[in-house]
Each structure stands twice: as C-alpha cells, then as structure tokens.
Amino acid sequence: MGAGFTFGAVAFIYGTLTYFIRSVGPNNTIYDGIGRQLDIAPLLVRFVYMNDTLWPGVYWAVFDWVLFFGLLGLASLMFNLSTKYENIVTDGDNEK
C-alpha cells in the first residue's frame, strides 16, 4: 500500500510542479516548476490545456501526460495488489 501511495504522491507533485508553478527568469522568460522554458501555445493546443497560453512544447507535453497517467496507473495497480495480498493473508489466517 505504501508503494501505491508513493507513486500517486509523485504523480501529483510532478503535475503541480509542471503545470501550476511558474517563475520569471532573466529577460522576462517564463519557466515552469522544473525549470523548462515555456512558450506560447498554438491555438489548437489551447483547447486541450483549457485556454492556457503557455506550454513546454509538444514532446514535453506528451512526456508529461504519459508520466502523470503512468504513475497514476502504477499507483492504482499497487493499491489493488496490496488489497488482494491483504485479503489472501487474512483469509489464510481465518482458516486455521
């Protein structure tokens, strides 16, 4: 159960750093929470990102989506496996 919580926490921390934390560097350059430079998003991308006009680029955006939802999937898998294991262990103890 701890591994599932860890994967979920890492996913939400990564998501927060990449999409909610921004800073302004030298020459008024805008960076996200992990230090990537943000550029103006194309019009079509603004529909996906809910009218957010800044984004890190197509490769970083795909990487972010895959990493975030992959970590959430791993967290879900770990939670499911841990509950199945707990059920097996507790059922085995009740039979004795």
**53-85, pLDDT tens digit by residue?**
888 888 998 999 899 999 999 988 888 888 777
- By three-state DSSP, how is residue 30 classified? strand
List the chain domain ranges.
2-82
pLDDT at 61: 87
Question: What is the tens place of the pLDDT at every residue in 9-22?
Answer: 998 898 888 888 88
Would you say 52 and 41 are in contact if contact means Cβ atoms under 8 Å apart? yes
Residue 1, pLDDT > 70, answer no
What element of type H or E holds 54? strand 54-55
Q: Which of 32, 79, 24, 30 is nearest to 60 (CA)?
A: 32
Q: Is the pTM of this model over 0.75?
A: no
Q: Compute, in degrees rounded to 10, the torsion defined by CA atoms 4, 17, 67, 42.
A: 150
Q: Which one is predicted more confidently, 42 or 91?
A: 42
